[in-house]
Structure 1
């Protein structure tokens, strides 16, 4: 069961999302109308993820995301940003803060549900087709805090998986490319993330760009 807090200042949006997320393996534990409420409810419920709108009163979604991910109490909570435009400047900033991906507000309900399930499993919610385009776009202005990503501890197979994840390939593509099962691909990805200290595959791609291991504007 994946527990979710919905954070959006529009009641209609929250109600609609609650209906969409009414699935046997998903449960909405709380709704927040402000960023302050989102932070408080994340601390109170410690959900698996927060579906976070950007523009909210009192505290915007970016600062709420930063506070949630920086707080040891809620550091394990994953944040998925709700946005209108997939290349919005705010999306870039949210991903840098540690968000596990973004969901467009006009996304097909089934795609939203599948994406949130992926986040609940520890994956990021960032369509492979836009991964390189999106990350490369904001990597052109690298964060001054961007450090080195140490790949020395990776096995040969994990380095192959790393290259494919950074290229925006999904688990099925990775399995096909390496001649392994999707389950084995997931295992390699989990070990890879743990070794380099990445929260999820979205964070791994960002780290790769900001450490200079991948050049922006390719793909």
Structure 2
């Protein structure tokens, strides 16, 4: 009877020893260390260029050679999140030896004229994240004097673009705003006085008439 009573105890101890050994292998083992950092972009947003992938890798500062289980993925994600074009990031462990970095790229809502004939790209929230030589195809140029008209005028212009039908937005080549209530569009070479973003729902209904 005593031997039978010991068997479950010994079996339980054996399981504990095995689990402890596996945990030690995962946490300190030389086989499960970071050997690769895989950077990819969210399919729903713009793809990353080779230069942007390099920028993400540089910002991540992933500790290659360190046990994968010991890598603080939250800290790594915070560093990548500081990259201007990054709207969101998720870092996961891909066993046995890969860190996976999934980046959501900011989508350009408008191009603002900048010095030297260049353009500053901004997302729908008005966050500037890149300077380019020319406005990308399909991205309207927004002309707002931020010193005189202020940021609310830019927000109003972006809100108008975001709220209008996609079929109309694709025909808009330029936007200007002297104030939040004076948004004007260049559509097929003609100027359209749109007004404020509050009027967008009514104009949406009208465009479907």
The normalised TM-score by structure 2 is: 0.28
Greater fraction strand = 2
More contact order relative to length (CA 8 Å, sep ≥ 6): 1
The normalised TM-score by structure 1 is: 0.27
